[in-house]
Structures are given as C-alpha cells and as structure tokens.
Chains A and B, each alone.
Chain A
Amino acid sequence: MLDVLILGAGVTGCSIARELSRYDLNVLVVDKHSDVCEGTSKANSGIVHAGYDAKPGTLKAKLNVEGNSLIKELSEELDFPFRENGSLVLCFDEKDRDVINKLYDQGVTNGVKGLQIIEKDRIKELEPNVTDDAVCALYAPSAGVVCPFLLTIAMAENASVNGVNFSLKTECDLIEKTESGYRVRTNKGTFETKTVVNAAGVSSDVFHNMVSDKKIKIIPRKGEYLLMDRTVGGTVSHTIFQLPTKLGKGVLVTQTVHGNLLVGPNANDIEDGEEVSTTADGLSEVAAKAALSIPGLPGRQTITSFAGVRAHEENGDFILGECEDAPGFYDAAGIESPGLTCAPAIGVMLACMIADKLNADLKNDFINTRKGIPNPKEMTREEYEALIKENPLYANVICRCETITEGEIVDSIRRPLGASTLDGVKRRTRAGMGRCQAGFCSPKVAEILAREMGTDIGDIRKNDPGSEILKGYIKEDL
C-alpha cells in the first residue's frame, strides 16, 4: 500500500514529490511519458515571474510571490540554472498608464519587492533595443529566468535520492475509491494508495472527474515560441512583456537562462492537450507581436520553434488541495502561468496538507542538496583541467554548437532517473540544443546512449516509444 501516488512527473508533480520526500512516506510518481518533464513543463517561457500579474487574494498571487523566492533558494540547493534578470512591462500609449499604475499597486498588494514605474529614458538605458514607442514600463527587478527542464529534473532527482519511486511510461485509466484510499489502474499494474495527487497538467480534469462529482474542465491553451541563436541573446537582458492592448495579449521577449533569445507565446484554445504543433500563422503572429517591443528582432537567427500547452482552468485560478467530495484525493490542477514559478510553493503547500492528513513524520536523513552535471563552462581553467585529468571524457566534445562533452552526456545517462532518449540527454546537458539542432551530434549521442544502456542504436528513441530514430538496416528490403 502506497501512502501517496502522484499522477504526473512535470514540474508540479516533481515539486510535490520532492517536498513529500522530507517525510517518512511511501511515494510513487507515475507518468505516461518515458521521462520526467515531457508535458507543459518542457515547453514554456522559463520565466520566474515577480508576482504582480495575479489578482490579490488568489492562489496564483500568493504562490507566485512565495515561489519566486523559493526558486532562488532552490537553485542553490539543487544546482540548476537561474538568473534574476528582472522584467519590464512596456506601455506603448499614455492612455494606458493607468493600467501600469494598477499593475504596480497590485504587485505591492501581492508583496512584490522593488517594483518601480520607469520612464522612457530609463527604459532605453536598461534596454537600448526596445521600441521608441514605449512611454513607460513597470520594472520588476525580482523577476528571473530559469531552465524549466533542469528545475523539474533537479527536483525529481532529489526526490528519487530521498526514496520516491518513479514509474514512467505508466498511463492511468481508472481511479476508484476504496475503503482505505484509492485504487489506481495503469498499464503497469494496479496500485493501492492512501492518497492521490493529481498533477496531470492538461489531463488533470480527466482524473479529477473520475473521483469527484464537482466536475472541472481544463482547456488546453496552446502557445507557440521562436527560439533564436545565442549570438543574438543579448538583444535584451531583461524579460520584456507588453501591456495587453487592443491588439490582444502581447508576447514576451527574453534572454533565456542559457543565453538564447526566446519570443512568444501566442494563445489559442485547442481541443486536444497533446496537439503541440506549430503553425505558420501562429509563428508569424508571435514574430509580429514581439516586433512591437523589439523592432529589430533578429528573426533570421531562429534556430527552432515549438509549441506548449497550458492547462487553463475555466475559472482562471489554480485548483489546489483536497477534493471536497473525495477525501485523500488532492488536486494540483489548472496550473498555468505562473505555474512554473509557483511550483516550489505548490510543492510545500500540498506536501504539508498530505503529511498532516497521514500524520507523517519528517525524516532525519533527508538530503536537501543535489549536484548537477559538472558544467565546464562554469569552471575555472584549473578546475576544468582537474576534471579532465580525473575523467578525460570531459575533453571529448560531442555537441560542437553548445560545446557539450562525452563526460556530461555519460553523467546525464548514469545519474538517478537518468536520460534514456535523445531528448532526455538534450534537456539534461543541452547537447543538440544549439544552432545545428543536433545534426552533427545526434548519431554520436545515440551511440553513447546505446553503449551506456547496453542496447542497440536501433532501439534509441527521440522520446516516447514509437519515436525510434532509425528504421532497420540498409539493403534489407531489396
């Protein structure tokens, strides 16, 4: 009998798992994908919001400000990339100054520190490439950028080291109430558990509605992005938002934590939560809207585009906590922006509720830190030379665009909850993330994966089963 079964190994599920791993509890995370961080958590803006957006009094407002400061601490504890770059919300029209003032007041009420309204001259000082049309801006120095993959993976690895089990490629199709809790049926067997956490992203309404009569509806809301080369990452240093105008909700332009330029998202409600295709119209819309903030947007430097799906709940706030008519079933549903920022705070909140419910004790052997894959780019020359001496694979460059070595790739495969796919290696190391988009390194990474996993290169996948990169041998059909 499990104490807690968590549905979903995205940033929310992994955060709850990591916080629960402080307690003496038997926790299992299940996810239908073959790796953690395969849904909404992998395709978003990677922004740590300051917390002025949400209406005061909402869960979003409270958890955003908490999450913002928690992520900063966590980035030290769990060793993932985070940078407090600050954000600007641009106002293009004097008539909209009221909206900026309102946003400022809202931020102050929510407890956001350091907010300022700045004028044109100051905007241009901070961001010379911003349009001359910006009349003023809300400046939030506490906003930041984070690597959404490594945030999620770091929490998952730390949870795993602290005893949480992960069952991947595990798809749930039925949840039933039992006397002592719930019975969760999956393709990998049926689990009996005292409590369930529903952190299933765009599918969270399906699971909630299996146990509750108070139905919820999650609307998948697709957003498309353009990612540009690191050589133009310096186009902006802050995250640049736009005030919503009559042209609709604006898109953001930001330098990512790894130094690329990221532009997006637009917003389109869709039926199918896995419809993550980009469209020509969508990508042009994103580029056109971003150009309102940054007129000289270097669109030719685009290295890839992608789409992600937010789990938008009809009423617009998060659904967090024990389901009213299903005791022991905890929702973490409707987690859309600022969900990534809030995730650490959601983890703390849900873990406390569940630990209370189960009368769980804190462990005394909880390990609160995790070391990431050694990153030569953050080392001094002496440190790097020492690392190479210890393991010469750290001198063998596999991904030439991002300068990722065999040592880093092997570590990403061997560590807890290690990578088993090309995408898994990519998200953990950035191999294949650069300007050639894995053209040169994918055969080499596939070879390393096959060698490390003791399998054939023909079994290596991009991500989930069915995404094998090769199809048989030459001449076999002749």
Chain B
Amino acid sequence: MNKRKLVIIGGGPAGLAAAMGAREAGVSDILILERDDRLGGILNQCIHNGFGLHTFKEELTGPEYASRFIDRVKEAGIEYRTGAMVTGLKPGDNGTVTVTVMGRRFGLEDITAGAVILAMGCRERSRGALNIPGYRPAGIYTAGTAQRFVNIEGRMPGKDVIILGSGDIGLIMARRMTLEGAKVHLVAELNPYSGGLKRNIAQCLNDFDIPLMLSHTVVDIKGRKRIESVTIAEVDEKSKPIPGSEKEYPCDTLLLSCGLIPENELTGMLGASINPVTGGPVVSESLMTDIQGVFACGNVLHVHDLVDYVSEEAAQAGKNAAAYLNGALRAEGKKHTLIAKNGVRYTVPASIDPGNMEDKQIVRFRVGKNYRGATVKVTCGDEVLSSVKRPVMAPGEMEQVILKKEVLTKLPEGADITFEIVE
C-alpha cells in the first residue's frame, strides 16, 4: 500500500497553504489530492480582484492569488494529484489514516497517511435546503454555479436576474452579471442585515444601483420550464412572511446566495465531532480534530470571509501537522474549553492546551447580530483576559481575539474560558 507522511485533501487555497506550512516546518513527504482537474479550488472562478490585501499587500484576482501558492507548491516540489476524489477516510493501524482516492488516471487506491489535513472547502445552500415553495423550473442556480458558467464557460445563465441572499458570492455575482450584460433587478435578504462584507455591498450593489431589500424573501417561484417570476415578501422579526406584502417580479433567473456549508462528509466517516453551529469539525488549538492526526483548516472548518485568513489558518494547520508528525504535540495535556455565549456564536478553536500553543493564539468567531460599540469580553472565572470595544460587529464579518501564552499558562489548568459580547 502507498504510504505517505502527510496527505492533504483539497488543493484549493487551504490545501495549498497547508502544504507550504508543513513543508516549511520540515515535512518532506506530502501529497495533495485535488478532485478538480487543476489546483486552486474555487479561486479559479473568482476573477474579480480584492484578494491578497493582507497576505501580499496588493490586490489580486482569485486566479492570481491561487497561482502564487501553486507556484510555491510546485517550486517546493510538493507532490499533488488532480482529478483525485477522496471517497473514503478511516482510521488505520498505529494512529494512521487510510485514505481511499479515485481518479481516471490512476484508478482506485488506498493510501496510508501518518497525518491528514482536511481542506475540502464548502458548498452553497441549495434551493431545496432553503425550502422555497413553487415550481422547479430551469434558471435557478446557486451564485457559485452561475459564477462558473459565466467566468469559466463564458455563458450567461440568464439575463433578468433576481438574487436571494446577500452572501459575498451573491453580491459579487450581482456586479458580474451586470458587467456581462444582464439586468440585476434586486437582491433580497431574509435577515435584517447582510451576510456579506460591507465593501462588497458598496462596490457590487451601491455602485450599480442594485437595491438590497433587507428582511425580504422569495415565497413563490413561477414558470414550468424556465423560471418566469418570483414572488418576494417582507418578513417579520421571526423571519415569517408578512401577508399582504407579496410582490411578483418577472425574471428568467434566480440566483441563491444563502449561506455556505462546510463539506464534512469525509470528516463524518472518520467519526470526528462536528460543531452544529459552524458545520465544521471541533478542533483544538492545533486545529486538530478529535481524531488523532487529522487536522482541518479553511472553509471546511468554518466559513471565512477572506481567503487571506484561510491561507493564514491553513499554514498554521500545516505547521501543526508537522509538529504532530515529529511527536512534538502532546495529546494528554489539560485543555481549556472555550465557551461561546451572549452573542458569540462559536469559537475556532474549541479548546486550548497551553502546552501546545505558540506565543499567541488566534481565536476566530462570529457574532449573531449587528452590534455598535459593544465589547468582546474574554474571561476565565473572575479574571478578564481580554476586553476590547469594537465600533461595529456584524454576522457577515469574522472577528478574532488573540490570546497570549504567558496569560494562559497562569490560569488554573483546564479552566473554561468564556467569550461573550457585552453591550
């Protein structure tokens, strides 16, 4: 059987950065498995710019950002396979993981890995999962599917467009469809706030006079072959449509940008615990799941706003996997459990063993609603570890707090650390 030190599942931004992180930390035997025919993941279809401001201090397009990492991976001589779909993961002997992979160039193969990094990314919530009633005609796409048709195939999925959901891909596609010659009538958003970045609302909607209708949703779809119209209604505080507020809008296309779901089917096969809030695995400070030697990073762990943060997190996962392979990560140490409450929806990581952390530990999280002038408070018992006032916080923008090792090592061993918003 094929034996590898480190197998990375996914050759998108997370997988590529994880591979570099592991290589720089001294892992020589790395294999990246990518299901698509090329490395780069979803960045390949993100032809807009705005990537890389944090990582490279310049504005790149998605393919440019990806190619910087792809070039590095190639220069480093890191092995990768494209057209390689992982269909099975199971714990093997002596802490190894058996990875079953298939592809038309090499058939069906089992690989024994000393460690695995999960970097499979996420998928978009579909019309079915949103339970939108009405007919089921052609012309209803997730924003990402439409993005692929437009940016990769050069084809229009339609020309009279309504967008439901103000996630970033939806906002980006509102601008893209307009630039390519479609009429984008409006973006409807169920929540009283947008799920997208502020800069995208400004640059993709406001600049093109595309209305954003907050607290509105699609309540009916008409058209038997191709979509002909949608009915949009205002919703109340409980997100229930308000009778009498319905209005029908003719269109030939409905794009959906209503949330991303980490793709953790493989993670589930391993039996790793999943956080119901993020849809991603529960990880420690080392980004290790509760299965020994299996790490996770990027959108498979929790959905990020910016690829720069994905790269940063993934590089750390690669470095940690290297430490694990070198026996430098302790498994038996006492962990602080991180508790998310009062407006903090979750934290990544979910626990910290100070013995395994570096000088600083980034804790990322999202809030449940819009806040102005509220404080992110981190406490352990009576001790306040951090209390920072933020001018604005929104569910669409990921937040972070940095915890210092020198502070954590002074806390009672294994004591809970609480993250909350104080208004």
| Contact digits for A277-300, partner B, Cβ 8 Å, 1 yes 0 no | 111101100000000000000000
| Interface residue A180 (Cβ < 8 Å from any Cβ of B) | no
CB distance from B247 to the nearest CB of A (A): 16
Cβ-closest chain B residue relative to A282: B133
A302-B129, A303-B128, A471-B252 known; A465-B103 Cβ under 8 A = no
A303-B128, A471-B252 known; A465-B136 Cβ under 8 A = no
Contact A467 B226 (CB under 8 A): yes
Q: Which B314-359 residues sit within 8 Å CB-CB of chain A? A: none
CB distance from B1 to the nearest CB of A (A): 13
B107 / chain A contacts, CB cutoff of 8 Å = 385, 388-389, 392, 395
From A165-173, A208-216, A250-258, A435-443, the one touching the partner chain is A435-443
| Interface residue B379 (Cβ < 8 Å from any Cβ of A) | no
Q: A145 CA to B157 CA in the complex, in Å? A: 37
Q: A278 CA to B150 CA in the complex, in Å? A: 30
From A76-84, A92-100, A315-323, A396-404, the one touching the partner chain is A396-404
A388-B108, A475-B181 known; A306-B124 Cβ under 8 A = no
B136 / chain A contacts, CB cutoff of 8 Å = 276, 306
Q: A393 CA to B102 CA in the complex, in Å? A: 10
CB distance from A270 to the nearest CB of B (A): 13
Contact of A470 among B35, B127, B156, B268 (CB under 8 A): B156
B131 / chain A contacts, CB cutoff of 8 Å = 226, 283, 302, 305
Contact of A395 among B102, B127, B133, B148 (CB under 8 A): B102
CB distance from B134 to the nearest CB of A (A): 5
Contact of B145 among A280, A303, A439 (CB under 8 A): A439
Q: Which A433-468 residues sit within 8 Å CB-CB of chain B? A: 435-437, 439-440, 442-443, 457-458, 461-468
Contact A381 B145 (CB under 8 A): no
Contact A471 B157 (CB under 8 A): yes
Q: A389 CA to B137 CA in the complex, in Å? A: 39
| Interface residue A365 (Cβ < 8 Å from any Cβ of B) | no
Q: A36 CA to B315 CA in the complex, in Å? A: 52
Contact B87 A397 (CB under 8 A): yes
| Interface residue A227 (Cβ < 8 Å from any Cβ of B) | yes
CB distance from A287 to the nearest CB of B (A): 9
Q: Which A382-432 residues sit within 8 Å CB-CB of chain B? A: 384-385, 388-389, 392-393, 395-397, 400-401, 403, 406
Q: A474 CA to B272 CA in the complex, in Å? A: 44
Number of A-B contacts (CB under 8 A): 146
**Interface hub of B104, B127, B268 (most chain A Cβ within 10 A):** B104
| Contact digits for B116-139, partner A, Cβ 8 Å, 1 yes 0 no | 000000011011110101111111
| Interface residue A248 (Cβ < 8 Å from any Cβ of B) | no
A304-B128, A474-B150 known; A397-B35 Cβ under 8 A = yes
Q: A476 CA to B159 CA in the complex, in Å? A: 11
Cβ-closest chain B residue relative to A406: B104
Contact of B134 among A278, A389, A471 (CB under 8 A): A278
| Interface residue A274 (Cβ < 8 Å from any Cβ of B) | yes
Contact of A458 among B155, B181, B221 (CB under 8 A): B155
Q: A445 CA to B156 CA in the complex, in Å? A: 17
CB distance from B352 to the nearest CB of A (A): 30
Contact of B126 among A283, A439, A464 (CB under 8 A): A439
A437-B128, A467-B138 known; A392-B104 Cβ under 8 A = yes
CB distance from B323 to the nearest CB of A (A): 31
| Contact digits for A256-283, partner B, Cβ 8 Å, 1 yes 0 no | 0000000000000000001011111011
Q: A443 CA to B37 CA in the complex, in Å? A: 14
Contact B35 A393 (CB under 8 A): no
A274-B224, A470-B157 known; A396-B129 Cβ under 8 A = no
A392-B105, A397-B35, A472-B155 known; A443-B148 Cβ under 8 A = yes
A231 / chain B contacts, CB cutoff of 8 Å = 268
CB distance from B333 to the nearest CB of A (A): 33
Contact B149 A443 (CB under 8 A): yes
| Interface residue B91 (Cβ < 8 Å from any Cβ of A) | no
| Interface residue B391 (Cβ < 8 Å from any Cβ of A) | no
| Interface residue B244 (Cβ < 8 Å from any Cβ of A) | no
Cβ-closest chain B residue relative to A391: B104
Q: A277 CA to B128 CA in the complex, in Å? A: 13
A473 / chain B contacts, CB cutoff of 8 Å = 154-156
A392-B104, A436-B123, A477-B159 known; A277-B134 Cβ under 8 A = yes
B137 / chain A contacts, CB cutoff of 8 Å = 462, 467
A247 / chain B contacts, CB cutoff of 8 Å = none
Q: A463 CA to B129 CA in the complex, in Å? A: 22
Contact of A396 among B104, B148, B219, B253 (CB under 8 A): B104
Q: A276 CA to B180 CA in the complex, in Å? A: 33
A381-B108, A464-B225 known; A439-B142 Cβ under 8 A = yes
Q: A279 CA to B133 CA in the complex, in Å? A: 5
| Interface residue B144 (Cβ < 8 Å from any Cβ of A) | yes
Contact B149 A470 (CB under 8 A): yes
| Interface residue B83 (Cβ < 8 Å from any Cβ of A) | yes
Contact B138 A462 (CB under 8 A): yes
Q: A471 CA to B127 CA in the complex, in Å? A: 20
A348 / chain B contacts, CB cutoff of 8 Å = none
Contact B108 A474 (CB under 8 A): no
Contact B127 A437 (CB under 8 A): yes
Q: A401 CA to B155 CA in the complex, in Å? A: 25
A388 / chain B contacts, CB cutoff of 8 Å = 102, 107-108
A468-B138, A470-B156, A477-B159 known; A403-B126 Cβ under 8 A = no
Q: A302 CA to B145 CA in the complex, in Å? A: 20
Cβ-closest chain B residue relative to A388: B107
Known pairs A276-B136, A435-B123, A474-B150; list 8 more (Cβ under 8 Å): A303-B126, A397-B85, A400-B263, A439-B141, A458-B155, A461-B138, A464-B225, A474-B181
9 contacts between A and B (CB under 8 A): A303-B129, A305-B133, A385-B108, A388-B108, A389-B107, A392-B107, A439-B126, A443-B148, A470-B156
- Smallest CB-CB A-B distances: 6 pairs: A304-B128, A466-B225, A477-B181, A437-B126, A462-B138, A397-B85
